[in-house]
Amino acid sequence: MPARLVGHDGPVVSRAVTVQAEPHVVFRWLCQLRVAPYSYDLLDNLGRRSPRSLTPGLERLEHGQRFASIFTLVDWVPDEMVALEITEPAGTRLFGPLPLVYQTVPLANGPTEGAAARTTLRGDIALPRPQSARARARSAALAWGDLVMMRRQLLTLARLSEQTARSTRSS
């Protein structure tokens, strides 16, 4: 469990994908979450397409910055981790206080000659501890909804990271 979620007393759901790119490239794409969610744009980005190229300056992080419209940046380690929390009132009413941590973890076996580096892109969400049957149902629905939404988000960020890494290697 990420250090930022240690001490949280509710369930934590984790999602991860393997990316054929260096951690710093993957992290740079995580910074793009400041401007768009990168999952299902029709549903969670009001039909606007999430940018498919890196936006200059988004890698300059500061506490309190907005991410994916309902999250606020609470902590980060350059090229390694971004910790977010829902602070936007509508998001808090819908989901409750929800910490979220993304990590880039270099894979230990490293690249072979001519091969791309590999990184695990991981997302962990700390769900609220359900206190009632209704809260348990809401928590279960959130976990299943997250499975669909975050999986798409991680796969999209992985694909874009790999494209960036390929274009950097070939130049």
Q: Which residue has the tokens 């960036």?
A: 164
Q: Does residue 7 surpass a pLDDT of 70? A: no
Query: What pLDDT is stored for residue 62 in this prediction?
Result: 97
Cβ contact 104:120 at 8 Å: yes
What CA–CA distance (Å, rounded) separates 162 from 156? 10
* Domain range enclosing 68: 3-170
Cβ contact 121:94 at 8 Å: no
Q: Does residue 1 surpass a pLDDT of 80? A: no
Residue pLDDT, tens place only, 91-112: 777 777 788 999 999 997 655 5
Query: What pLDDT is stored for residue 15 in this prediction?
Result: 93
Query: What pLDDT is stored for residue 45 in this prediction?
Result: 56
pTM across the whole model: 0.87
DSSP three-state, residue 156: helix
Residue pLDDT, tens place only, 13-25: 899 999 999 999 9
Q: Does residue 167 surpass a pLDDT of 80? A: yes
Query: What pLDDT is stored for residue 131 in this prediction?
Result: 79
Average pLDDT, the chain: 86
Query: What pLDDT is stored for residue 6 in this prediction?
Result: 62
Q: Does residue 136 surpass a pLDDT of 80? A: no
Residue pLDDT, tens place only, 28-62: 999 999 999 998 776 665 667 889 999 999 999 99
Count of structural domains within the chain: 1
Query: What pLDDT is stored for residue 113 in this prediction?
Result: 55
- CATH no. for residue 39? 3.30.530.20
What CA–CA distance (Å, rounded) separates 161 from 29? 6
CA angle 151, 152, 154 (to 5 degrees): 65
